[in-house]
Structure 1
Amino acid sequence: MIDLPNRDKRKEFTRALLKSIAQATPISAVAAEFFGYLSPSDLENEILRWQEDITSKVNSHDELLTIHDSILNPPPIELIGVAKDLAIYFTQNSKKGMFNIYGYSDITKELPAIEKQALDEALHELEQLGLINISQSLNGISHISSTINLHISVDPPVLGNNPIEDAKTISSLMLNNEELSSIVKLEKHLGWDLRRLNPAIWYLKDVVLPENKHSKTLHPDYPTTSFIIGSGERLILKQFLNG
């Protein structure tokens, strides 16, 4: 909230009166101007504070918009070498397109041609890019978990599915038919397999909609079983579609 500057009319009148009297002599006039330079009126101070407040609020708002835009429209990620191979491996082995955990020992068995040092460096590269999370033990990396960013970045070139575009399709359907906020009904309506459906649901749940606007019921096949779509959520979905 930006507060408007306060006006004290009595102080302004007194100040104006003193300044007008001072105009009678050149020296007094100069002194008055000097006084005004060193001692700005309360209103001027209020206006200055107000302008600074506006600037701060606008800059903060622009920053938030930029951050939000970068979340909803992430820049493309370029991967090469072992990091690319691992990203493809994680994507292809995500059977349901949900949160997955991969044991480090299982990865080394599945990809024996990759040396340990190259493997570890590539895993850390993927973590820095936000595609996976690494869990450590006393002996080093113990397991890896996938993030929604893995599917956003790697699903399109590897599987031909685009979770963000699919999330927009789902958003449009939910806006036109609130019954489709039930994921079971949505799945039947769309006819998509879980591998395509779930990354879009995951994206809507964790990125687009507020945290408390989905069912917390755990389900083996879906990231959530339903969304709560009120007037505020409808506005968010419309903004997402128009973004």
Structure 2
Amino acid sequence: MIEPPKENVDRALWRAVAEAATQFTPVTAALARLYQTTHPSQFQKDVERWHEVVSDTANDHEARLQTLEAAHQPKLKLSPDATALALWLAETSAYGLEDPIGFDAVSAAFPEAAKRDLEDAAAELASFGLVKTSAAFGHPVRLVRPLSNLFALFDPLVKGVSPQDDAAILAAKALELDSGNVPGLMEALGWDARRLNPALMLLMSVIPGPISQEISRDLATRFFAMTPDTRVALKRLRSEP
């Protein structure tokens, strides 16, 4: 069995999902699927009511999140093995990109874990859309590729920043500078590539493009066009609920 994290992260994971669900910031498919594995219709109804009566005050925001948490958090679980693997993937990522990692490197990181436990943990994360795995003959899991969804969920735990919040900040800066030059935006914000990329990938999932396909070692993209449609999408992301 994989050595589980020393602290219980269930509540923090729940908060990452709930904050994404109750804000007008990018909500990825994986985050949605995590809470939909509980009681999806009831959760969605509760979130809709939350939006109908939400206050502008932070205190009221927190109180309403606590109400949602009391009803749904106990049902939201990842296994300790999958959580440990996800935390490791987020912690060790140099750039926060969807770069594949060989299963041998995963095994080396968890020397006490059985191969089957590691494979099952990777498969569980893949079932939630947090990673993609690829197989080879004799190797059910040969590569593990962390996806932007994983960083969106786990970066608040391992980096202390929210890619959802950062996506809104990035959108506002792009509008302020009227620029989709990513290196320039990164410099203006004072962020490194590890912080920028998870937010940038969320941004790329909701803006219509065009988005540069130039291959970059450290950036998800180097440029996106500031078309009228892109500006409309960015304005939605920076808006407060």
Relative to the length of structure 1, the TM-score reads 0.66
Cα distance in structure 2, aligned partners of 1:208 and 1:95:
24
Counterpart code for 1:146: P
Aligned to 2:132: 133
Relative CO higher for 1 or 2, CA cutoff 8 Å, sep ≥ 6? 2
Q: Which runs of 5+ in 1 are unaligned?
A: 1-67
The answer as to whether partners of 2:97 and 2:220 remain within 8 angstroms in 1 is: yes
Aligned to 2:230: 233
Deviations 1:160-180 (A, max 9, x none): 11111101001011112113x
Structure 2 CA distance for partners of 1:107 and 1:71, relative to 1, 3 Å? closer
Cα distance in structure 2, aligned partners of 1:199 and 1:182:
16
How far the C-alpha of 1:69 sits from its partner, in A, is: 7.7
The alignment's C-alpha RMSD in Å is: 2.1
Q: Which has the larger radius of gyration?
A: 1
Aligned to 2:20: none
Secondary structure in 1 matching 2:28: helix
Counterpart code for 1:129: F
Aligned to 1:29: none
Q: Which runs of 5+ in 2 are unaligned?
A: 1-24, 35-75
Within a 5 Å distance, the mapping from 1:89-128 to structure 2 comes to 89-128=88-127
Structure 2 CA distance for partners of 1:85 and 1:151, relative to 1, 3 Å? same
**Number of equivalent positions:** 173
The answer as to whether partners of 2:28 and 2:149 remain within 8 angstroms in 1 is: no
The answer as to whether partners of 2:98 and 2:147 remain within 8 angstroms in 1 is: yes
The answer as to whether partners of 1:148 and 1:199 remain within 8 angstroms in 2 is: yes
Deviations 1:41-98 (A, max 9, x none): xxxxxxxxxxxxxxxxxxxxxxxxxxx9853893466433111110011001101111
Aligned to 1:159: 159
Deviations 1:130-155 (A, max 9, x none): 11001011112111111100100111
Aligned to 2:31: 74
Structure 2 CA distance for partners of 1:150 and 1:218, relative to 1, 3 Å? same
Counterpart code for 1:110: A
